[in-house]
Each structure stands twice: as structure tokens, then as C-alpha cells.
Amino acid sequence: MSFLDTLRQWDTAVTCVDRQDLSEALKIFLSIQEPNSKIYFDIGCLHLLNQDLDAAEKAFDCSIRKDEHLAVAFFQRGITFYKKQRYEESLADFQQAFKALRGNQLIDYKALGLIYKLYACEVLHNMALAQAQLGNWEKAQENLVKALDYKTDAKLNIIDKALQSTLKQKLFKPVEFPSKVLFKPNKNYVAELEKKDYLGKATVVASVVPQDEFSGFAPLQPQVEDSPACPKEPEVLRALEGEPHTKDADNWASVIFNERRGLVPYNYLERLEISLASKQNGGKSEPPTREPPARPERKPGLTPDNSSRDTKQKDARATDNSFIVKVRFTFNFAVSVPPGSSYALLIEKISKKINLPSTAIIMSLTSEATGQSVINANTEMESVWSSASGRRLTLWCIAKEQTDGKPQNEIHLVALHSYESSNPEDLNFHEGDMITLLSRVNQDWFEGQCNGNTGIFPASFVEEVPDSDLNK
């Protein structure tokens, strides 16, 4: 099946879903000979609506094989396994979906044709539910506490209710994907499917040259007797990125022209060699490469907004009587401790979490570490625990070397070129922006903060700013 035929059937099937004709849509989807990952995902969603769980599982299997980074496909297969009461497999798929989020709060699939946002807190919510079904109530509580770091205002209520249920060892409802929301084909490609009459209608024209034998479809051209014929130069459409290529036997080419992508007949194109001089733009500095370097394989502990978390260390298991202490540091995290815990136990838990000695940490009840709010070995812990609400307590921590308002050894970078990416884990910035370096992922990629956002970016797009320049 050709690329154009696949587009037509995909677009027709989605239109049937919009008309609520789900059986016809599924019939058209299944007739596509070589579905891509998105089409397999759509098929799985329709099977899930029909409660055909075995067929849905197979469709999501195919979607994941086609694209192993499609987090929403793992999420949907996890829902399918949960409905089949295969809770261990469901938990594994939710964990894969959370891993594919790379530490981000959400993934917006709108750019890929799916009007849906997958939230990290909802994935953790379903992970906790699968663990509760397996009887692992303590792990379920840990994941819901972790979800507090990723929640948004709109998702706060559902996480709180689930956490209260786990404290009572009661099950709660899963967060499900709206299965009638499907991936749709690129609207620009669909627009090119309409038949076009490139030749137009033939018209009769007259020549100013007597006894002219010319005939054809070209417009009337001024002519002079006894002069050599001057052929008209063909109009050339130029592919600004890459070279045109045919699609199967249809003899169509996919090109980019005036920053728009589309399909044109291949025989309407002529290859054009572009010299290096024509690519220059007045001597303005260009990014080091047209494409950023190969993306790094990110480890779960080196993702944006999560780079400082030690996922290998485990908190003490929470019990029904445990207190949940949310700590606000350079990143937010939570620990669980027995009620009435001593200062030594609490500071030990926090120091292990942020990988700093307890002597280097200042802990307080408020965001400003004043004399009355600071918690130390001389503090009456009974008064600290009495300020907890609903077995929850919020504390603030700062490292002693940060008390002057600026962390020591902080490295600042300046953007040499603008960087824009649709990847949710990337950090976008403009030329001249100041970036705070958080970590060096590898020799080609850095992780940093800019304008309140955190993410990774190519190292060749920035340079380090000396401390002497920052103090000017």
C-alpha cells in the first residue's frame, strides 16, 4: 500500500470516529496493510472501547514495537493489563511510561496529532493502584508521595484522595485515557490528497507571426520573425532541507518550500545545486551544526527536574501512623518518619536524600531561616510535630554555603545561538540568554536552567561566562 493510500484510509477512519461510527472506523483501520505506530495505537483504543482486551493488547504491542519511546502506548497497554487483572504486567507498563516522561511533568502530544496530555502524576497514581492490587501498600504510598512533586493544581484532588485511600488500605479508581481521542494524520499531508488539475483547460490562442505552426498550452509569447527560438527556462521548486524522494510507485516527492512541507509530482522538480556562497547570510554567526548532536541516552536519575534525586536510595517504609515530611530544597522531595521522631533521625533522613552532611544543612519551619524557625539539636521536637496537619509537615532546607544568596561553584553560561526544540525534555532559549549549568550529561549535551525552565541542550550552543564578568 502506498503512502498516499495509507493517508486516505487513516483520515477516513478518523472521520468515522468523529461521526461515532466506530465499527466502520475499525474496519477501515484493519484494512491498512502496513500501519505505523500511531495507527496501531488508534486500533488498540477502538478495541479497548469494544472491551476486546486481547485484541487491544496485541495492537498496543505492535505500536510499542514500532516506537519504543511512545509513553502513551505503554500507559494504554498498562490500562489493558489492569482490566485483565494482570497487575504485575500493568505495573511494569506504567513504570515504562513514567520512564519515557524523562522526569517531566507532562508530555503534550498535540504536535504529533493527538489532543492529549499525559501527566506524570497520573502515571504514578496508576502505578500506586497496581501496587495496591498486589498488596504492596507501602510502595503505593511512596509513589503517591512522589506524585506530589509532579502534580498540577488540576490534579491535586485526585492524588490526595488516592493517598488517603492507601493509608486506610482501600483501593481507588484508575486514571483512564479517553479512548475516542485518536492520533490524526498530518493535516498538511491530508490537504495534498485532493486531486489537482495541473494542466488546466486548453484554450485556443492566436500568434502574431503569420503562418505560425505553434500549438500547445503555453501562454502567448511575443515573437520576432527570423530570430532563433529561445526556450523558456523551467520553473524549479527547490527543496530547502534534504533532497526530494519518491514515495513507492506513485512518483510523488515530499519537499519543503517556503517553510511548508507538502507533496508534488516528482517530474515537476529539477535538481538544483546550491553553492556554499548562496547559503551565507551576511557573515552572521550560525549554529555549529544544522542539526544538534545525537541525543544522549538519559538515565532516570539524570532527567530534567529530577537530576539531583537519588532514586536508588529508599525511604523507610511508611506505616499507617507515619508522618509524611515534604522538604523544599533546590528540588522538592518527601520522606516518611515515625511520629515524634527525634531531630537526629529527621536530619539523617534528609541528609541522605540530598547527599550532604547533616552539619552542612540548615532546616527550618519557614522559607526564611530565622532564629525562631530554625530546627536544630536543641529544638523541642514536640513543638515541631504539633505544627503538622493531617500527619503532614512541610520543612525548608538550605545548604550552609548557600546562605549568602549564591551557591558556591555555580557555573553560568551564555547562549551563543537560539535553540528551539519540540522535545519536552529540552531547554529552549534565545541568543544572549543566561543559563545556569546543572550537570554535564556528556561532552555534547548539558543540563541547565533558564527563565524558570529546566532541560537539556547542545553544549556547542553556549559558552561559559567567567565570574569576573558576572560581577561587573
Q: Determine the Cα–Cα distance for residues 141 and 147; give it in Å rounded to an integer.
A: 10
More confident residue, 256 or 157: 157
- Give the range among 79-93, 175-189, 249-263, 285-299 with minimum mean pLDDT: 285-299
Up-side HSE of residue 289: CA atoms within 13 Å toward CB?
A: 8
pLDDT of res. 267: 67
Arch. (CATH architecture) of 323-402: Roll (3.10)
* Selection from 325, 359, 358, 355 nearest residue 340 by Cα: 325
**Burial of residue 52 (number of CB atoms within 10 Å: 0-12, 13-18, 19+):** middle
Q: Which CATH code for domain 3-167? A: 1.25.40.10
Tell me what pLDDT residue 266 has. Answer: 67
Looking at residues 306-323, what average pLDDT do you find? 47
Confidence of residue 436 (pLDDT cuts 50, 70, 90): confident
Mean pLDDT (whole number) for 181-199? 72
C-alpha cell at 375: 530546627
Higher pLDDT, 223 or 69: 69
Residues 241, 243, 244, 246, CA torsion sign? negative
Helix ranges (H only) for 148-205 are 156-167, 187-191
Domain extent listing, the chain: 3-167, 236-270, 323-402, 409-470
Does residue 123 surpass a pLDDT of 90? Answer: yes
Average of per-residue pLDDT values in the chain: 76
Of residues 102 and 467, more confidence is placed in: 102
What is the arithmetic mean of pLDDT over 64-84?
Answer: 93
Find the range with the poorest average confidence among 104-118, 256-270, 370-384. Answer: 256-270
Instruction: State the pLDDT confidence band at 40, using cuts at 50, 70 and 90.
Output: very high
Confidence of residue 65 (pLDDT cuts 50, 70, 90): very high
Q: Which residue has the higher pLDDT, 313 or 39?
A: 39
Is the pLDDT assigned to residue 194 strictly greater than 50? yes
415 and 376 Cβ atoms separated by less than 8 Å? no
Indicate the class that CATH gives domain 409-470.
Answer: mainly beta
